[in-house]
Amino acid sequence: MAENDAGVAVEEAPDSAGGEAPAAPAKKGMPTAVLLGIVIAVQVGLSFVVLSMKVAPAMKGSHGNAASSAAREEAAKLAEGKPGQIISLEPMVMNLATLEGEKPSFAKLAIAIELSVEKAPAGIDSRMPLVRDAIITTVSSRTMNDVTNPDGKEKLRQQLLASLRQVLGAELVKNVYFTNFVIQ
């Protein structure tokens, strides 16, 4: 028997020749690859948590302002009950408002209008030029900066909803959806 550095007796295994061989040093700690894997996993997990706390509220539009909160409550009230018919409009390309010295910018939007009824009333097709005009007038009065962030898009959607309710009737228009939204 031999003693290690700490003074503890260690039994050594005999080698094949019958003599005693020195004991192999015991590995201390984890292998570097395992430790590196754990560090990376922890970083990925923390990144996920931080992003989900910052990005998820932005995607839901919950920025804590009263206007979007009231709009969500109104939309939730109207959304109760049966889903209504959805009218999809053809994509529209229009100029956005520009400030002095800015380059012209364009918006390509495809919009879907959800009605509060299961079947569109007769004669709604004859109102489509008024619907398109309300959309073009509302969107073209906005600048690129107005519509390039989530709050701006939500405000635009609410303004479109109000405009379309004036054209088609407040009780008929349930909601407005952007099915395509491109700014250049």
**What would the mean pLDDT of 60-69 be, rounded to a whole number?**
48
Range with the lowest mean pLDDT among 65-69, 84-88, 129-133, 154-158?
Answer: 65-69
User: Architecture of 83-183 per CATH?
Assistant: 2-Layer Sandwich (3.30)
Q: What is the pTM of this model?
A: 0.56
Residue at 145: amino acid letter:
N
Question: What is the C-alpha to C-alpha distance for residues 23 and 118, in angstroms, rounded to an integer?
Answer: 84
Q: How confident is the model at residue 51 (pLDDT cuts 50, 70, 90)?
A: low
Res. 61: pLDDT tops 50: no
**Choice between 137 and 47, residue whose per-residue pLDDT is larger:** 137
Parse the chain into domains and list their residue ranges. Answer: 83-183
Report in angstroms the alpha-carbon separations of 95 from 60, 177, 183: 28, 20, 10
- For 102, list phi and psi in degrees, rounded to 5: -85, 150
Question: What is the C-alpha to C-alpha distance for residues 178 and 62, in angstroms, rounded to an integer?
Answer: 18
Indicate the DSSP class of residue 14. B
- Note the pLDDT tens digit of each residue in 111-148: 999 999 988 888 889 999 999 999 999 999 999 989 99
Range with the lowest mean pLDDT among 13-27, 55-69, 112-126?
Answer: 55-69
Cβ 173 vs Cβ 131: under 8 Å: no
Res. 38: pLDDT tops 70: yes
